[in-house]
Amino acid sequence: MASDIETQLAHLWPPHKWQDVTVLVGVSGGPDSVALLRAMKSLKTAGIGRLLVAHFNHHLRGHESEADEAFVVELSRQFQIPCEIGRAATLQRDCGGDGLEAGARKARYGFFRETADRVGARYLVTGHTADDQIETILHHILRGTGLTGLAGMARCRPLSKATTLIRPLLDVRRADLVAYLDELKQPYRTDSSNANVQLTRNRIRHELLPLLASQFNPAIDEALLRLGTLAGEVQSVVDDLTESLADRAVDPRDKVLSIDAAAVAGKPDYLIRHLFVRLWRRRGWPLQSMGYAEWNHLAEMLLRGEPKKKVFPGNVLAECVDDRLYLRREEKQR
């Protein structure tokens, strides 16, 4: 029954937690985000908060992209929900495959962040499902992930200083959302690019997962979700240990980020590497080109004091001085 999805959502993210604040709902026009919007609209029966829709037009699929935008605008009008539209400044066709996906995601979330700040949204909500989580975990495994990647997408994470990103449907399967919309006779858009197997995520969805299910483990979906849950539980423990280590090793009063080697002596290498990841995130330094080798190199510099100086991706300079490792992001030379 249609009410089942609304009951699930109410359990996963109770309305009393969001009905008195501004919530920005990311809506692409596809079934996941349309189902999320419909369910939230049904559950918003009280409170002084408001719902707003945000849609980003990447201009990647010609008339399809324009039709998606028009659909979301009309859907918002029918529900009497204000709609914020963002559009890519230029066609993002200069990079293919996964580079295109990454570029589109960066542009989309940049728009979400700017819009959330402008309208004063406490939350940005997206319609990511259990299916998305399964594909994400497997994708991370193929790329050689660490523990954080095994945990998949976080249910919530900071989007900006004032806004938190929430993914309340990570326990819900996409097929159930489609059934929910079908029962309501609610139209939605279908993205033709989801069939493009040149994109890694689509190959995982259409080729690799069916192969694993048919020839190795019929319950591969459940196995990956269970792996993600267990990894997330362990990661939360590691996060607490890392935070405690940061409190001892890093002086927040210092203008330049530095780490005390004596404070981390004897700690597991994994914890020290994770400390650097945490510090990188806090500073907003680019993470994409940082991998195991780079994090391990930083740990070696901190513990051994060699080499004395090295520049890491993102133009971050690491320098050993006495018993401390100093980190600062250098301005690029013009």
Q: What is the CATH number of the domain that holds 55?
A: 3.40.50.620
Count of other CB atoms within 10 angstroms of residue 45? 8
Q: Are residues 126 and 33 in the same domain?
A: yes
Assigned domain for 272 exists: yes
CATH of the domain at 269: 3.30.465
- Say whether both 49 and 177 belong to one domain: yes
What are the residues whose beta carbons fall under 8 Å from the beta carbon of 234, sequence distance 6 or more?
147
> Does any domain span residue 260?
yes
45 and 186 inside one domain? yes
| The last residue of a domain, from among 140, 169, 199 | 199
Asked if the structure places residue 99 within a domain, the reply is yes
Please indicate, yes or no, if residue 232 is contained in any of the structural domains: no
Domain match, 272 and 167 both:
no
Q: Are residues 294 and 160 in the same domain?
A: no
- Is residue 242 one of the residues assigned to a domain? no
pLDDT lower than 50: segments of the chain: 93-96, 333-334
Structure confidence by residue, pLDDT tens digits, 235-261: 999 999 999 999 999 988 777 899 999
The answer to the question of residue 214 being in a domain is no
The tally of domains found in the chain comes to 2
User: In this structure, are 258 and 320 located in the same domain?
Assistant: yes
**Do 115 and 261 lie in a common domain?**
no
pLDDT at 145: 84
Dump the DSSP string for 109-132. Answer: HHHHHHHHHHHT-SEEE----HHH
Query: Dihedral sign, CA of 220, 145, 147, 123?
Result: negative
Same-domain status, 121 and 267: no
Find the helix packing angle between 269-283 and 292-304, rounded to 10°. 110
The structure tokens listed for 250 are 């890093």
Q: Residue 263 falls within a domain, yes or no?
A: yes
What is the per-residue pLDDT for 92?
Answer: 52
Whether residue 277 sits in one domain with residue 190: no
Domain-embedded: residue 216? no
Residue 67 in 3-state DSSP? Answer: helix
Residues 195 and 108 in one domain: yes
The domain of 310 spans: 250-329
Measured over the CA atoms of residue 291, residue 293, residue 297 and residue 299, the dihedral's sign is: positive
Do 109 and 16 fall within a single domain? Answer: yes
pLDDT of residue 203: 95
CA distance 306 to 319: 9
Decide if 207 contacts 215 (C-beta within 8 A): no
Tokens of 175: 């097929």
Nearest-angstrom CA–CA distance, 175 and 64: 23
The burial of 304, by beta-carbon neighbours within 10 Å (0-12 exposed, 13-18 middle, 19 or more buried), is given as: exposed
pLDDT at 125 (0 to 100)? 98
Q: How far apart are CA 328 and CA 297, in angstroms?
A: 16
Distances (CA, A) of 145 to 150, 228, 231, 301, 326: 7, 12, 12, 23, 27
191 and 320 inside one domain: no
Both structure tokens of 145 = 């992930």
Position 291 scores a pLDDT of: 86
